[in-house]
A and B are shown apart, each in its own frame.
Chain A
């Protein structure tokens, strides 16, 4: 099937070229970071994880959300998802690839990364995150590829793939749960030390992922002869809506516990996020942008005429994606370090090389996505004709 990625329109090749170019810029910046050390980033002794780990955290969610089409289709036989399942699985592949790349660029000694396997440490959540992420990547590549090949040959997929698909469903939940456990189990980081973290992660993931999937479906329909189906998009939009409501509800639960109990250590980080603390307010605009966009997007999705019109639905999905990207891809990770364990504040702003590497990884992920989607769409067009 790979050969289908080699035949494409001028626009396809232009997109590949642009993404490859951005990948090149990121790779160059990464080489610079390798020579100089992580000093080229904006991270510091107090804020020791920055935008790389934040992107990783956000993208694990997008990857996990493939389960929102896989589960209804394979367990409940929701027919309208027949065409989008492959798009969900391939989106997961691209996202997990980005996750792994973001971890890699964040390491101080990336050449030693195999130490995680050479010295397996079962008490480390990071070890388990490595296990579940690689497992999920493998599962989605295998499932996507086998099912699509069978479809191309117009035969039913082999029987053994069914149990593999069933395994991938709880596995999707596991990747985001384990990622939340990276944060939720640390003593002394009050902002992260909350039992609702994994639930909150899953809630926001099931909004941001399907929102992106809707946008990708609309894009695929526009640029190819393959139509994932209006019904699939409409059903997905309801998933986005409910997940969005649950996400906002979870954030409000956090705010209640923190501000009604009034325990200073628990309030500090939230105060820093929403109004600033001790004259530091770097994340205030971001936090409000998240809150406002999330509310607007939810209200839009709640309104049937807006949700049913694909043009306005697309706008709502963009808002969902941006707001949750801010929440998990910017504020959630960084705020965990502010204030630091000695209750002083050091702020963090990413540097140009850091942003170049970040854009480079996103571009590489979208390059993988473009190629995989090109294959999937070509196969679908081939069958239809």
Chain B
């Protein structure tokens, strides 16, 4: 049942986005130019444990805004900016909030003021999936923590369970609010209903057609966010983790986040 459901979603994703959005030429180009490879297959990008490496040194206001806008545009995330009912998939916060307990009075000013990008960690051991009473949030075989907004009953137990504040609830009907005023919505992203939880899906709908996540794509030139398969020893994320000292958010909780930060 689960399997066929996922398969259905996958097929749906491919057919709605249209296979035409990415041509084999694009994929060839990606491979050919020494760009990171993501094993494109007819079923899109396939990995065993997707991860992101965020290089904080390469983040500034402009870069982070680009990543956030790309994500929120492609997922029609409504713009209730600053409001306490806001919906956000990816956003920035200060070091002391992203890594609570790690801050101290003599922290380098640069780090203190730096915008840290935060999003769902796609934890390998996700508490949100553990607590969900309907399997509306679950973990795919490639590690992505998914959210089925059409099964969610809106109990918000996952929001209490997530130690990273990654989840948003549709307190109101967002049907006519798009990510920005006067900007046409992305017609391929399903309409969100009120009363359900949502969060970053690591652009599964893009992976399914061979594209990398929108935030990664948006800041590709700077390589501030790198996407790849942790189980592939030749992946760029593995190279970065090998070469740099990286930290993760709240590792002591044992959720095993798959978003790494180079500080």
Contact = CB atoms under 8 A, between A and B. Distances in A.
Interface of A: 36-39, 41, 43-46, 48-49, 103, 106-110, 112-113, 115-116, 118-119, 121, 123-127, 130, 182-183, 186-189, 264-265, 336-337, 340-344, 346
A48 B160 contact: yes
Interface string B124-137: 00010011111110
B170 interface: yes
A43 B154 CA distance: 13
A109 B157 contact: no
B84 A45 contact: yes
Given A109-B153, A115-B151, A37 B171 contact: yes
A45 B96 contact: no
Nearest to B86: A45
Nearest to B172: A39
A45 B85 contact: yes
B60 interface: no
A367 B171 CA distance: 31
Nearest to A112: B153
A123 B169 contact: no
Given A108-B195, A126-B133, A46 B84 contact: yes
Contacts of A115: 133-134, 136, 151, 153
B154 A36 contact: no
Contact of B155 (A126, A265, A344): A126
Given A188-B163, A346-B84, A124 B172 contact: no
A186 B162 CA distance: 8
A45 B152 contact: no
A341 B196 contact: no
23 contacts: A37-B194, A39-B194, A44-B85, A45-B84, A45-B86, A46-B165, A49-B156, A49-B160, A106-B156, A108-B152, A108-B155, A110-B154, A112-B151, A123-B130, A126-B155, A186-B161, A186-B163, A187-B163, A187-B255, A188-B164, A188-B250, A336-B160, A341-B163
Residues of B contacting A: mostly: loop
A321 B37 CA distance: 64
Interface of B: 84-86, 93, 96-98, 100-101, 118, 127, 130-136, 151-157, 159-165, 168-173, 193-197, 250, 253-255
Given A45-B85, A124-B157, A126-B133, 4 more contacts: A108-B170, A187-B161, A188-B253, A189-B160
Given A38-B171, A44-B171, A115-B136, A186 B160 contact: yes
Contacts of B130: 123-124
A341 B165 contact: yes
A14 to B, nearest CB: 38
A121 B156 contact: no
Nearest to B253: A187
Given A109-B195, A186-B160, A342-B100, A116 B134 contact: yes
For the complex of A and B, the 6 pairs showing the least CB-CB separation, nearest first, are A108-B154, A188-B163, A108-B195, A44-B84, A39-B172, A37-B194
Residues of A contacting B: mostly: loop
B131 to A, nearest CB: 6
Contacts of A39: 85, 171-172, 194
Contacts of B196: 108-109
A187 B254 contact: yes
Contacts of A116: 133-134, 153
A265 B96 CA distance: 13
Contacts of B160: 48-49, 183, 186, 189, 336-337
Contacts of A187: 127, 161, 163, 253-255
A107 B173 CA distance: 15
B256 to A, nearest CB: 11
A292 to B, nearest CB: 29
A65 to B, nearest CB: 25
Given A187-B254, A264-B101, A124 B169 contact: no
Contacts of A182: 157
Contact of B133 (A48, A124, A188): A124
Contacts of A37: 170-173, 194-195
B83 to A, nearest CB: 9
Contacts of B153: 107-110, 112-113, 115-116
Contacts of B101: 264-265
Nearest to A103: B155
Q: Which residue among B133, B156, B171, B194 has the maximum number of chain A CB atoms within 10 Å of its CB?
A: B133
B175 to A, nearest CB: 11
Contacts of A343: 96-97, 100
Contacts of B159: 45, 48
A126 B253 CA distance: 21
Contact of B154 (A107, A118, A127): A107
A124 B131 CA distance: 4
B151 A119 contact: yes
A46 B88 CA distance: 12
A121 B173 CA distance: 28
B195 A38 contact: yes
A43 to B, nearest CB: 7
